[in-house]
A and B are shown apart, each in its own frame.
Chain A
Amino acid sequence: MATLTQTLVQVKRRGLPRPGRLTYLTLIAIAFFSAFPLYYSAVVGSLDNSALGQVPPPFLPGGNLITNIERVFTTVPFATALLNSAIVASSITVSVVLLSTLAGFAFAKLRFRGRNGLYLAVVATMMVPTQLGIIPLYMLMANVGWIDTLYAVIAPNLISAFGVFFMAQYLSAAIPTELLEAGRVDGCTTFGLFWRVVLPLARPAAAVLGMLTFMNAWNDFFWPLVVLTPENPTVQVSLSSISSGYSVDYSFTLAATTVATIPLLIVAALFGKQIIAGIMQGALKG
């Protein structure tokens, strides 16, 4: 009985017990498995191909990373690929954030006929498999002559149902309706409200949506693979053509993979906390 009272007091005073060493060991193991493939990719990318045939396999980086990266940039249009990816991902991000904030504002704070039905339609489209329409989409792009151009990659991704949903959920909680009403009384038009009240308050969510969108666009693969060629690729398309074929030059391929992954790792290191908060927010409401 004494121990029970003790536990009770302990729980009441300090909340849940602190986890023990075993928990931390598990976490360290998981963090190791999370990081190891990325580390190893950099290791392979820094070696000379002959070092890869050793037993046991090499686990420490060699000195050839720069040489391998130079080889990547001179033999395939990797600079073009990086630039293309940057253009594609930025254009998509600007458009998705802007159009999602506009639509999210309307769904969250404006009254109009058909609002609930249309919002439901937006949410439903989040569940539709994107590959369903890929053939006609390709035909459409071929008709307007956009195959092998970045327009074809950007156009279908200008909007995001998830983005609208995300912004609507955020704005409905973050913007007090009284504030908008007060603005109306003072003679503000709807667009004035959007510009002066909504946009400033939407900034935190817009930043998170922007990062998630950018990363998704940077990593997108299937559609760019279909409409682009290895001569004018995005980073992912370029990586896939480098890694294809029967005998893969691993130190070359993984040097390129490392270069392609580093921008995202930097984003994760700088904004990891916000990205995680965004994913968790999106999940709670989903």
Chain B
Amino acid sequence: MIRSWLYRMDVKASPYAYILPFFVLFAALGAFPILYTGWVSLHDWSLLEDQHTFLGLENYLTLLSDSYFWNALFNTVSILILSTVPQLLMALVLAHVLNGRLRGQTFWRVGMLLPNITSVVAVAIIFGQLFGRDYGVVNWILGLFGVGQIDWAAGTATSHIAIATMVIWRWTGYNALIYLAAMQAVPQSLHEAAIIDGATSMQRLRKITIPAIRSTIIFTVIVSTIGGMQMLAEPLLFGGGMPTGGNDHQFQTLTLYLFEAGFGRFDFGYASATAWLMFIVIVIAAGINYLFVRRIRSS
């Protein structure tokens, strides 16, 4: 009797023991903070005071009327577009090349992954040097073509380009690997038939591969959007560690704006409201991108 009861308990109840640690930790350190953010955002809540006055939606209204919030939103979207579009296009071509019958596959793949292994802090520091105004390599190369010294961090467009370059450098190879994984599942016979019909390599990429890996492209666009909307390290370090993102906030992203409110001024209520608005913006941006890439014709 007892044995069979124990057996039944083991089969029926013990599965929950295996998932319990994950869900307990997730509830305490994942779900609770996210929900509590909503509660904090409705208060005048600072680290230094014990009194938290209920404000209703006032933090949100202040946010929406703060031009620096809109500036941060513009910067984030601008850097996101400048980095994601070239990055994913290059990754597609790169994956297509790697999908051929190459010698030294592992070597090339590890090479592509090197930038991604490098920490985002290191990337920001290294590129900060490369984009230096006086002694940077980028300005030196441009100088060879007669372009004068550019103060990359000073302008809106130039700083966005410099930061987007960091993102492109770090993520192109990674995305190429993701695409490559999907491409390897495309039947070889499709390519063979196309070659017999005289299709060039680029035509095969456009007409066969891209439609076939459509769902993977959608996946990468959405993941890049969610990641790009949360960008912090690159603009923070490019601006010498200042959360303002340049003297005129010219490259302050939404996360930097949140960081400045939360951990510069320790205005937790306002920072929490920023976090929620950011979340809404991320969902909207991901949704728009989803609708956009969904239009790729499926095979």
Contact = CB atoms under 8 A, between A and B. Distances in A.
Contact of B126 (A37, A115, A156, A246): A37
Interface in A10-41: 11-12, 15-19, 23, 26-27, 30-31, 33-35, 37-38, 40-41
A207 B177 CA distance: 19
B40 interface: yes
B195 to A, nearest CB: 6
A276 B113 contact: yes
B34 interface: yes
Contacts of A170: none
A236 B216 CA distance: 31
Interface string A128-156: 11111111111110100000000000011
B276 to A, nearest CB: 7
A245 B112 CA distance: 32
Interface in A105-132: 105-107, 110-112, 115, 118, 122, 125, 127-132
A117 B135 CA distance: 56
Interface in B178-208: 178, 180-182, 185, 188, 191-192, 195-196
Contacts, number: 294
B245 interface: no
A279 interface: yes
Interface residues of A, number: 105
A111 B122 CA distance: 45
The main secondary structure of chain B at its interface with chain A is helix
B186 to A, nearest CB: 12
B126 A272 contact: no
Contact of A16 (B100, B129, B177, B229): B100
Contacts of A260: 119, 122
B76 interface: no
A68 interface: no
A235 to B, nearest CB: 8
Nearest to A194: B18
Interface string B73-111: 000000000000000000000100100111000101111
B29 A129 contact: no
Nearest to B13: A112
Nearest to A281: B181
Contacts of B263: 138, 226
17 contacts: A8-B196, A15-B188, A17-B101, A34-B114, A38-B118, A54-B135, A102-B21, A122-B22, A159-B21, A240-B236, A244-B240, A261-B119, A264-B117, A279-B181, A283-B181, A283-B182, A286-B219
Interface of B: 10-12, 14-16, 18-19, 21-23, 25-26, 29-30, 32-34, 36-37, 40, 47, 94, 97, 100-102, 106, 108-115, 117-130, 132, 134-137, 140, 169, 173-174, 177-178, 180-182, 185, 188, 191-192, 195-196, 216, 219, 222, 226, 229-230, 232-233, 236-237, 240-242, 255, 258-259, 262-263, 268, 271-272, 275-276, 278-279, 282
